[in-house]
Amino acid sequence: MAHRQETNYVFPKTSECKPSDLDGFQWWALLAPKKTDRTARPYFRVQSSRMKPSYFCTEYRSFDAFKLFCNSLDGIKIQSSSSTMPHKLRGQSRLERLPLEILGLIFEVSEPDGFIALSLCSQSLWALAINWAQNGYLRWRNAFSLAGTPVIYASSYLKTLPQYLYDMYPKFVTEETEEEVAAPRLYGQGRTVTRSTAWFNDIVLQSHLAPVPYDGLYVQSFEQITSKANIPFRLHKNMRSSLPIMTIEKGSKWLLRNLTNNEYIRMESVMTTEGEVTVSHVGNSWLTLDMLLFCLICWRGDGRQNTWSWEQLEGYVGMTEEGIDDTLHDPTYGPLDDKFWPIWAGNWAGHSLEVVTDRELDSSWVDRTKSIETLAPKMLLTMYGLALAEGSPQARHHWESVFEQRGDVIDEEHECYVSDGVTIEAKTHKKIVIGSLRVHADCLCGCEL
């Protein structure tokens, strides 16, 4: 499964956002301001976290971006075996005799553990639950898909918006003056509040946290619960295979399209080292859709950075060979926020995006694949630098593995003294090649160098 956020990073702590949540520490929310439903909380947040996007990428997190933005159902498969436990009609309980519509609502509001626990109460409930789950992604997609609607991953500290959102809401949000943006915070005030801040506050206070599509989580819950349930082991395999899993054809080609600007980036299907099926930038399997979107739709909105054009992005430097060397000697030299500046003012923030199967496009579409190809190695070094300085052991191992997959890890022999202090022996160590620099791959090598 994909490497997901720990609970302590999720913010707010509950589905609903309260005014008190807007004070204090900075946090980020993935919003679709044009997409509403008819509930008491008409907006929804797909992702909200205290973890900065730069750390989110470095820790190789996932927010199910492919499922959120996929707009080509012909390119995916919802796999599930047709075999379920035999459905016995006799001895039905009151719960089993509830109308299917009511049972469907119960399944819908249940978390994965609750869903599996309920479905294992009887053979008939299992059969009903499997039939409901097999259409679960389509129901979720109809309610929470972000394909084709404006999206932005915004900071709770924002003071300005991307120009496109000002154009989208001319009656509600007017552009701030330079004086308003530069105004200092008042004593005791957690953050500067501008008209854009008020717009952000209004949306998040009327929002609820959208559920994730549960396909893989159903399987996890099944594994945990059946180990304690009194169900014959011989039935486990067939029951597990009945749970639906969304898959993408191996090697299939896709496009990430910007419907606002008629731009696109070529993608291809991959399975990450964490077992998540998704798409990534062509030729850079580590640059998944989740990570790429963080480089395109994030918006800190602090008034200090403007959106850069694709041509200006060519000048991005990020972490250099010298910077990596400095970080190895002293982690405090690791990359700070300024090294991630393309993330803080994404040039697709507020735009409408979708992921579709590869197809011919007319001349009005502009291919940005090569621009991402130019940025990719620079972002890779920058994320590796942050992993060296402040990342978890898992993150450091992940980025060492990325270098290895790229062919940038070599074996080098080094002579060293053994424990007697006299005898010399040769040992082979794994080194990451970064220009003229050779960095010992601590996690891949597993030695004590």
Radius of gyration of the chain (CA): 25
Token pair for residue 162?
Answer: 């991307």
| Tally of domains within the chain | 1
Q: What is the pLDDT of residue 172?
A: 62
| pLDDT (mean) for 151-174 | 87
DSSP assigned state of 250: T
The CA-based diameter of the chain, rounded to the nearest angstrom, is 81
**Amino acid letter for position 217:** L
pLDDT tens figures, 284-303: 999 999 999 999 999 999 88
Q: What is the pLDDT of residue 90?
A: 44
Phi-psi region for residue 81, left (φ > 0), alpha (ψ -120 to 50) or beta?
beta
Token pair for residue 101?
Answer: 């519509």
Residue 285 belongs to a domain: yes
pTM: 0.88
Q: What is the pLDDT of residue 194?
A: 87
153 close to 349: Cβ distance less than 8 angstroms: yes
pLDDT band for 279, please (50, 70, 90 cuts). Answer: very high
Pick 252 or 241 by higher pLDDT.
252
| pLDDT (mean) for 152-173 | 87
Residue 25 belongs to a domain: yes
Q: Give the Å distances, CA to CA, from 333 to 231, 325, 388, 390, 442.
A: 56, 9, 10, 10, 19
Residue 251 scores a pLDDT above 80: yes
The pLDDT mean for the chain works out to 87
Residue 252 belongs to a domain: yes
Q: What is the pLDDT of residue 98?
A: 86
Q: What is the pLDDT of residue 108?
A: 84
Residue 396 belongs to a domain: no
Pick 275 or 405 by higher pLDDT.
405
Q: Which of 320, 318, 316 has the alpha carbon at shortest distance from 436?
A: 320
Q: What is the pLDDT of residue 449?
A: 56
Residue 319 belongs to a domain: no
Torsion angle in degrees (nearest 10) through CA of 42, 46, 51, 53: -110
Highest mean pLDDT among 214-218, 300-304, 418-422: 300-304
Distance CA 66, CA 418 (A): 51
Residue 304 scores a pLDDT above 50: yes
Distance CA 171, CA 89 (A): 60
Residue 146 belongs to domain spanning: 1-307+345-367
Token pair for residue 17?
Answer: 């956002």
pLDDT band for 1, please (50, 70, 90 cuts). Answer: very low
| pLDDT (mean) for 103-123 | 89
Residue 8 scores a pLDDT above 70: no
Residue 4 scores a pLDDT above 80: no
Q: What is the pLDDT of residue 114?
A: 92
pLDDT band for 182, please (50, 70, 90 cuts). Answer: low
Residue 98 belongs to a domain: yes
Q: What is the pLDDT of residue 357?
A: 97
Residue 168 belongs to a domain: yes
Distance CA 85, CA 72 (A): 32
| pLDDT (mean) for 184-198 | 70
Residue 447 belongs to a domain: no
Q: What is the pLDDT of residue 83?
A: 53
| pLDDT (mean) for 246-255 | 91
